[in-house]
Amino acid sequence: MDVVTFGETMVLFTPESTGLMRYAHTYTRKFGGSETNFAIGLARLGHSVGWISRVGNDELGKAMLSFVRGEGVDTSCVRLDPDAPTGLYFKEIRNASDVNVYYYRKGSAASRMTAADLDEAYLAQARYLFVSGITPALSESCREMVFEAIRMAKASGLTVVFDPNLRKKLWTEEQARETLLAIAAQSDIILPGLSEGTFLFGETDPVKLGERFLSLGAKIVVLKLGEKGAHYFTPEENQHIPGFHVEQMVDPVGAGDGFAAGFISGLLDGLSLSEAVKRANAVGAIVTMVNGDVEGLPERSDLKRFVESPGEEVMR
């Protein structure tokens, strides 16, 4: 196994019309969750990934499990919970730059995860553990699960990768800041967005933010800068890597997960940090051009064509 991750994936309903959701009458059903977006992104690039979670023992949960498994992600450590439902969320796309997400996840099966859902032997076979800042916000038991997973990973020599994935709707700012900083302090690689760095440290300068994250003990920090690309930092060096221009952004949700998948894929392939960040920028850009969290995640051939021939719309 290259990577193991864990967390909640939900059923996603998106109105077929744009504008206020109150006027929508028909919806498309999809699936989305930061950890499975990331896992599917890696699987499409040819890597082996495992996902640990709980879903409701209901039709939506079973459909989700079938979908994630069908995308090449190992789901052998996902449990069907007979006493709690699969979580839902709605994505309201008013326009490409104004997207609202509404969660219906309180009391969901995944929010009932505990450290007992972890299999230390399963984790030990991987090279990387990917942790999202969403999971500890779901419940106290999920928060405990995060720190136990990190403990297990470090005991087995895994590299811990952390994407803060700040979701202010899920907890108070004080809880979020305290917990996210505590996880970051135990992580080897941190992949924050600029706004997340500002939230955690009250700083807006990218270079100063990179230094603040490194001071927590991380070996690598990659600060996501949206369409401007990303800036990576190590104790020895730092460099800004420009992003890829996208003519028309359709849906920005999931771009950060694609970025993380592209970056870890690059490390797994032995690329230099600058080339791994370039791959991350490319995957993130591709994701924004398609409606849906995972629908735009590229396979290797798609990624190669995008990087080598940006702007080419027809494959001949």
Task: Identify the residue with better confidence: 145 or 93.
Answer: 145
Q: How far is it, in rounded angstroms, from Cα 46 to Cα 25? A: 38
Per-residue pLDDT, averaged over 145-171, amounts to: 96
Residue 4's φ and ψ, nearest 5 degrees, are -125, 140
The mean pLDDT of 46-53, rounded to a whole number, is 98
pLDDT(185) > 70: yes
pLDDT per residue as tens digits for the range 244-269: 888 777 667 778 999 999 999 999 99
- DSSP assigned state of 299: P
Name the nearest CA neighbour of 97 among 249, 284, 286.
Answer: 249
Give the pair of three-digit tokens for residue 223.
């600060």
% pLDDT > 70, the chain = 97
Helix (H, G, I), strand (E, B) or coil at 227: helix
Report pTM.
0.92
Identify the pLDDT of residue 312.
Answer: 56
Closest CA to 190 of 148, 222, 147: 222
| pLDDT digit string, tens, across residues 275-308 | 999 999 999 999 988 877 788 999 999 999 999 8
Average pLDDT of every residue of the chain? 93
Which of residues 23 and 289 earns the better pLDDT score? Answer: 23
Q: Which residues are catalytic?
A: 257
Interatomic CA distance for residues 284 and 287, integer angstroms: 5
pLDDT of residue 288: 86
